[in-house]
């Protein structure tokens, strides 16, 4: 896993779940991590824990839906650590609901965080990577980029978009690697913002078989750690016992 050594990796949605687990594992393997999220107290605690184990970590408050805020975050990472090797666009929300519940504000929020957040990360990181002559984007999609389920129409649509954006960027890139990580059901805070009771109950049932965030973090490390001429385009990780 030596190719992760000394890489500067900016991670959005780093305050919990997959982002937090990935930050810890990448730092343990020699990467220099820069943590972004809205909950700065959690970021501060995570950065301190990484540093206590001998790792390198910086953090900055981040709203991924704000293009200028994302640009400031990525430039902060470059200014602090000298370059940007990986942008891990991981932040996401999942307020599931049936279409006829008309949770239109929640639809907008998913589109803003899950799609615009990824686009903002790409827009901020791409010029830096082009100037460097290389880099990598890792974008968190979902098994929902491959399977549509009731109450998940809009969420799945946003993750299909992440898949399509990633694939388009990959095809356009000569020396920038692009990886889509598609987790199956994982035990995280994702979905804690569900307001529709039937969708909340369905998610609880679905999570009876679930992975821990560490399983996805290992996939991220695998993608980062490949030689620079090897691009792991997509990794789907789901529980062995899960049908979805």
Catalytic-residue membership of 155? yes
How far is the C-alpha of 81 from the C-alpha of 129, rounded, in Å?
14
Q: Rounded to the nearest 5 degrees, what angle is found at the Cα of 188, between the Cα atoms of 191 and 47?
A: 125
The active-site residue, picked from 59, 155, 160, 222, is 155
Catalytically active residues, by annotation: 155
């Amino acid at each position: 896993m030596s190719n992760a050594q000394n890489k500067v990796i900016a991670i959005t949605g780093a305050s919990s779940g997959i982002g937090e687990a990935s930050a810890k594992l990448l730092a343990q393997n020699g990467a220099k991590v820069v943590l972004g999220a809205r909950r700065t107290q959690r970021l501060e605690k995570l950065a301190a824990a990484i540093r206590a184990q001998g790792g390198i970590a910086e953090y900055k408050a981040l709203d991924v839906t704000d293009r200028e805020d994302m640009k400031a975050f990525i430039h902060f990472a470059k200014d602090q650590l000298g370059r940007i090797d990986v942008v891990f666009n991981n932040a996401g929300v999942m307020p599931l609901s049936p279409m006829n519940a008309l949770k239109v504000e929640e639809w907008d929020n998913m589109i803003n965080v899950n799609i615009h957040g990824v686009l903002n990360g790409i827009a901020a990181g791409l010029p830096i990577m082009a100037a460097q002559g290389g880099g990598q984007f890792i974008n968190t999609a979902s098994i929902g980029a491959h399977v549509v389920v009731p109450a998940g129409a809009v969420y799945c649509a946003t993750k299909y978009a992440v898949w399509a954006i990633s694939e388009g960027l990959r095809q356009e890139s000569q020396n920038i690697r692009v990886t889509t990580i598609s987790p199956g059901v994982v035990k995280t805070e994702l979905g804690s913002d569900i307001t529709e009771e039937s969708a909340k109950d369905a998610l609880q049932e679905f999570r009876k078989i679930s992975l821990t965030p560490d399983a996805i973090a290992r996939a991220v490390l695998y993608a980062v750690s490949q030689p620079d001429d090897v691009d792991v385009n997509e990794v789907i990780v789901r529980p062995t016992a899960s049908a979805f």
